[in-house]
Amino acid sequence: MTTILHIASSSNLHTSVSREIGQATVDELQRAHKGAKVITRDLVQNPVPHLTPAFVDVMYTNPDAPELALSRELVGEVLASDILVIEAPMYNFSLPSVLKAWIDHIARKGLTFNYSAVGPEGLLKGKKAILVLGRGGIYSSGPLQAIEHQESYLRAVLGFFGITDIETLAIEGVGYGPEKRAESLAAAKAKIQTLEARHAA
């Protein structure tokens, strides 16, 4: 059975394009994978705390410490999943801090990555990720591309964990008016249909 891990991180609970397209993506994946299990982590409605000194004190010395209980739970969800659907609106050219906090909790040596004599090795190989990215401007090309630290960061950190099968649904230019917003949403929904075909069981 396929397991889908659905991560939501937009503080806009009502009109977020990343939430809208993210849910549509999960719905299509469920249609493609009959009986799929979905694990949902809404990092806004149920925030993950930022790392504390107590967490850092034990993260390398005592992996069973109670301070790491939530981290172990979050890592367990990632390990159990086959496909990650990560919704990320662009906040100030990068990620919401709640999503960064989640990444900090799952970046665990010996669980999601390791170091060897030849360098780092990702331990999450074989998983797929779909990035659902909301952006007020156009960052995939043009003059703003140089300050895009949203998709580039997510691809880098997921790659560090060993996840290299990554697809992106970018909903761009939604701040440029209702017509551009509608156009971007329509394009993302059309692309979801191609995702369903590629991810079908």
**pLDDT tens sequence across 15-58:** 999 999 999 999 999 999 999 999 999 999 999 999 999 999 99
DSSP 24-69: HHHHHHHHHSTT-EEEEEETTTSPPPPP-HHHHHHTTT-TT-GGGH
> Using one digit for the tens of pLDDT, what is the confidence trace for 75-116?
999 999 999 999 999 999 999 999 999 999 999 999 999 998
Domains of the chain: 3-199 (3.40.50.360)
* One-letter amino acid of 86: I
What integer is the mean pLDDT of 46-72? 95
pLDDT for 194 equals: 84
How would residue 197 be classed by pLDDT, with cut points 50, 70 and 90?
Answer: low
Strands 119-122 and 37-42: unpaired
Half-sphere CA count of 175, side-chain side, radius 13 A: 9
Can you read off the two tokens belonging to residue 123? 């331990």
